[in-house]
Amino acid sequence: MLDQPAQGRARQQAAGPPLDFQEHLARLEAEGLLVRVERPINKDTELHPLVRWQFQGGLGEDERRAFLFTNVTDGAGRRYDVPVAIGALAASARIYAVGIGRPVDEIGGAWMQAIAHPVAPVEVTAAPCQEVVISGDALRQPHGGLKTLPVPISTPGYDAAPYLTATLCITADPDTGIRNMGTYRAALKATDRLGVRMSARVGGAGGYVHWQKYRKLKKPMPVAIVVGCAPVVMFTGPQKLPLDRDEMAVAGGLAGAPIRVVKAKTVDLHVPADAELVFEGLIDPELLEPEGPFGESHGHVALEGFNMSMQVTAITRKRAPVYASILSEVTPSESSVMKRVAYEPRYLAHLRDTLSIKGVRKVVMHEPLTNLRPVMFVQFAPGVPRTEIWRALHGAAGLQADIGKYVVAVSEDIDPHNPDAVFWSLAYRANPVEDVFVMPHRSQGHGPKAEAGREDSTLLIDATLKEPAPPLALPKREFMERAKQIWDELGLPPLKPQSPWHGYSLGDWDAVWDTYAERAVTGQWETTGRETFARRRAGLTPETLVKSVKE
């Protein structure tokens, strides 16, 4: 059950983002975006697969919901008194928008504003996240510590353990004290131990950079893993902001108010005061522990690898917390939506504002299966100079080390959300010898592990329309719209039109052909036949274009 204060706050605060995770859940429920499941659900075998169906079952993004499971069990028959929420952060852009307190179309602007105008956090001395403190012997009891919590298995049949997934991992630079907040997976290893994976690749985890410094100092690295807090705080974790940027202050910029923080009980770090749960501990600076397998967001199972070993020194929580989990693995997923809705406007702003490229309309990261990072489409207005298109392609590929392996430029008539339309553009608007550029020496990026030190490369493609072309050969809009009315009247299956769904001009057209087309749909085609009969010519090869022959 959600606590009553959270429900009250949701009713009182109609504007602004929710500053507490349970307040966020209450708002989702009020807007019909949350499904309560009160029947018993096994966290080890049923919970993630059930929610996964809304991503793999052909539903549109607007049909996805957050889920709150209030009767959670496990494979051993244990029942937990802590509910589990999943999909509550970003099962859809609309759910994300509730968490950020803005309409969907204002998400990008809110991020740009927050990064430009951060608001420093404010420290408090008493906090809901420390109403219950579990430490010492209580962590090491056979059924104590981490085993008291309903941590789900994300990929049943492949994952080696339950994993913390919706994490905000807080570390601090030992030299500067600047904190970093990242989203890293953590496997349950014992009642008081976690196996933590922080990406070591270029452009990977800020926490890993901090760990390298602690390794040189030969000191354990303090860490606090937060599960369940205000969405504006959680959303900073996947954004890969510069290492000298305090994400807690950026979260304050998103919230329009300082984020309340409290000093952790057993490590020298500050954590969100209104969090649901906090796992405090120390990461060994030398000894790495086998971790995995685990289903990863690049679409493959990450095999067992040596990763960080975290000794848990305390678990602090609210008296009545809600455990937050996130759906990752194969995209689309909650994880990919959380990245997409912020990454795309950041890239658009980079091209338009930082590089001053005119005529860039959209940046779209391909989501199904590819996990956003490798494949990107950039849409341009008509008439953008070829040099600017190539400058944009290079700029998009170079902003982050692990994003932009394949970058394709398309014209304004191509919907970059429709891969079929992009393939049509590639087929007829790109000449590989002129419009393709391969750039070597790219970071391998996020994907299944290959040989150490192996490099990747970048493929840039200009698939924009280079010159006027004949119209798209579909019926004009008015005819398709009328046909859809009849379709609906006949009670046929609901349609989900995908652009392009009607014909339109691409510049190579003569007004006389409009006359021919109008005659055709009104039964007057014989008039056209008489006119063309009078224009017969000798001495030509079949398929000679009429426009190439002077009358």
**Is 340 a member of any domain?**
no
CATH number of the domain at 83, please.
2.30.110.10
Predicted confidence (pLDDT) per residue in 92-135, tens digit: 999 999 999 999 999 989 999 999 999 999 999 999 999 999 99
Q: Which of helix, strand or coil describes residue 116?
A: helix
Task: Please give the average per-residue pLDDT across 71-76, as a whole number.
Answer: 93
Predicted confidence (pLDDT) per residue in 13-36, tens digit: 446 899 999 999 999 999 999 999
Length of the chain counted residue by residue? 551
End-to-end CA distance of the chain: 81
Do 198 and 292 fall within a single domain?
yes
Do 487 and 440 fall within a single domain?
no
The Cα-based distances of 95 to 56, 306, 333 in angstroms read 18, 35, 13
CATH number of the domain at 379, please.
3.40.1670.10
Is the pLDDT at 279 greater than 90? The verdict is yes
How crowded is residue 333: how many other Cβ atoms within 10 Å of its Cβ? Answer: 23
Do 290 and 213 fall within a single domain?
yes
Residue 198 in tokens: 């922080």
pLDDT for res 392: 97
pLDDT for res 303: 86
Task: Please give the average per-residue pLDDT across 483-488, as a whole number.
Answer: 93
Predicted confidence (pLDDT) per residue in 400-424, tens digit: 888 999 999 999 999 999 999 999 9
Contact status, residue 408 vs residue 422, Cβ threshold 8 Å: yes
Do 159 and 230 fall within a single domain?
yes
Predicted confidence (pLDDT) per residue in 383-395, tens digit: 999 999 999 999 9
User: Of 410, 433, 462, which residue is a domain's last?
Assistant: 462
**Is 335 a member of any domain?**
no
Report the distance separating Cα 283 and Cα 171, nearest Å: 10
pLDDT for res 15: 66
**Is 409 a member of any domain?**
yes
With cut-offs at 50, 70 and 90, classify the pLDDT of residue 448: low
pTM for this prediction: 0.88
User: Of 306, 325, 344, which residue is a domain's last?
Assistant: 325
Mean pLDDT score across all residues of the chain: 91
Query: Which helix (H) or strand (E) covers residue 245, if one does?
Result: none
Do 109 and 207 fall within a single domain?
yes
**Is 211 a member of any domain?**
yes
The Cα-based distances of 88 to 76, 98, 140, 439 in angstroms read 27, 10, 31, 40
Q: Count of domains in the chain? A: 3
**What share of the chain in percent tops pLDDT 90?**
75
With cut-offs at 50, 70 and 90, classify the pLDDT of residue 306: very high
| Crossing angle for the helix pair 93-100 and 334-349, to the nearest 10 degrees | 70
Beta bridge partners of 164: 186
Predicted confidence (pLDDT) per residue in 37-48, tens digit: 999 999 999 999
Cα torsion angle, 48, 49, 53, 56, sign: positive
Residue 395 in tokens: 């700029």
User: What are the residues whose beta carbons fall under 8 Å from the beta carbon of 198, sequence distance 6 or more?
Assistant: 169, 182, 184, 204, 205, 207, 208, 211, 307, 308
Do 85 and 164 fall within a single domain?
yes
Do 11 and 90 fall within a single domain?
yes
Do 245 and 386 fall within a single domain?
no
Is the pLDDT at 447 greater than 80? The verdict is no
User: For residue 78, what are the domain limits?
Assistant: 4-325
- DSSP code at position 467: S
The residue type found at 425 is S
**Is 349 a member of any domain?**
no
**Is 270 a member of any domain?**
yes
Q: What are phi and psi of 299, to 5 degrees?
A: 95, 0
Do 165 and 87 fall within a single domain?
yes
